[in-house]
């Protein structure tokens, strides 16, 4: 079973572009998978909500979707979320829209999931 760790940028962007990430993941992954949310992602989503604006609306909806679907949560250690995701990338498939994190994952030759053309997901 594949385990997927999405970051905040991925989840909020999926909501913004009206992409159902579960449906798209089923389309691109030919095996059973499990979505696990890093505890720091919840903190980042709350920070976006507190800032206000258009992204806050998307972040609220993202938070609602995550809670409704009852994904497992993974506790993380201290440190920046991107660094933690990079460390976990040998055991988990990381889903991100963050350009810096994508670059770092590619340099470690790790597969990742990203949004293409604001319409669908792709493993690169």
Residue 73, C-beta contacts closer than 8 angstroms, at least 6 positions apart: 36, 37, 38, 39, 42
- pLDDT tens string 61-100: 999 999 999 999 999 888 899 999 999 999 999 999 999 9
Percent of the chain with pLDDT over 70: 100
List C-alpha distances in Å: 20 to 65, 74, 100, 106, 115: 10, 22, 24, 25, 11
CA dist 124 and 113 (Å) reads 6
Is the pLDDT higher at 11 or at 55?
A: 11
Structural domains in the chain plus CATH codes: 2-123 (3.40.50.1010)
Kindly state the greatest CA–CA separation across the chain: 38
pLDDT at residue number 55: 87
The mean of the pLDDT values for the chain is: 94
For residues 33 and 2, the answer to whether their CB atoms sit within 8 Å is: yes
């Amino acid at each position: 079973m594949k385990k997927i760790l999405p970051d905040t940028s991925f989840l909020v962007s999926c909501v913004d572009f009206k992409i159902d990430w579960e449906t798209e993941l089923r389309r691109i992954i030919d095996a059973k998978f499990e979505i696990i949310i890093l505890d720091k992602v919840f903190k980042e989503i709350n920070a976006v909500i507190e800032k206000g604006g258009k992204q806050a609306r998307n972040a609220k909806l993202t938070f609602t979707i995550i809670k409704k679907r009852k994904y497992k949560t993974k506790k993380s250690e201290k440190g920046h979320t991107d660094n933690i995701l990079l460390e976990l990338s040998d055991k988990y498939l990381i889903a991100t829209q963050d350009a810096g994190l994508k670059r770092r994952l590619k340099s470690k030759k790790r597969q990742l999931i990203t949004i293409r053309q604001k319409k669908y997901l792709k493993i690169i």
